[in-house]
Structure 1
Amino acid sequence: MPAAKKTAATKPADRAEIEAPEEPTAEAGESLTAVAHEATDIYTWVEHNGKKYSIPAAMEFPLEVILAENEIEALAIILGEEQWETYRKTRPTIRDFQEFSEKVNRASGN
């Protein structure tokens, strides 16, 4: 069995410094699945209540996500300050938060 190809680790940028990437596109008949998203270490988009949110692949989440004490804190870290504030301004309900959190988890490959 051939040895696994090693890749150089990259230092993650500060979420505040990352500009939202262009929305991923797919060829006709193709879709960007969570598995493909995870394998390519790119951002994907989640649409919720008429707003689009840029979501990184799970392995690109900030380390602080592991230390989050609850799901709300974890999602705030994943989204980053600007997107979290955008979401909060929608005045979400608990049900809405659960739906949004599920979308983010599916999109990130979790």
Structure 2
Amino acid sequence: MAAAKTTTTAKSAEAKATATEFEFKGATFVIPAPLDLSDDVLDVIEDGGGERAIARAIVGQEQWATYKGLRCTIGEFNDFLDLVSEAAGFGDAGN
């Protein structure tokens, strides 16, 4: 019984440690596994940061610059936010 639990725990830990990659408007974005995100994300959430601030904290400065270079519309930002939220383990952003 203990061996099965250890195996399940090992698989769960492995799944949590996987980064998620997605493409948006021809650019590739890589989001760390939820437990590997910077704790700056928590600060932004706790400080009541808006959706853009949270997305920026999740993707990091370099990838945010890539996103900004895509010159997106508000609607496209909502699509991007959904992808970022899902990749970060927060589910759909609800936009």
Q: TM-score, normalised by structure 2?
A: 0.70
Identity of aligned residues (%): 33
Q: Give the number of aligned pairs.
A: 79
1:53 shift after superposition: 0.4
Aligned to 1:52, what secondary structure does the other structure show?
strand
C-alpha distance in structure 2 between counterparts of 1:73 and 1:92, whole Å: 16
Matching of residues 22-101 of structure 1 within 5 Å: 39-68=15-44, 69-101=49-81
1:108 shift after superposition: 2.4
C-alpha distance in structure 1 between counterparts of 2:57 and 2:16, whole Å: 21
Give the structure with the higher percent helix.
2
C-alpha distance in structure 1 between counterparts of 2:51 and 2:36, whole Å: 17
Unpaired runs of at least 5, structure 2: 7-11, 91-95
Residues 47-78 of structure 1 show CA distances to partners (whole Å, capped at 9, x for unaligned) of 10111101111221111112211111111111
Q: TM-score, normalised by structure 1?
A: 0.61
Moved over 3 A (4+): none
> Higher relative contact order by CA 8 Å / sep ≥ 6: 1 or 2?
1
C-alpha distance in structure 2 between counterparts of 1:56 and 1:64, whole Å: 13
Unpaired runs of at least 5, structure 1: 6-35
1:94 shift after superposition: 1.2
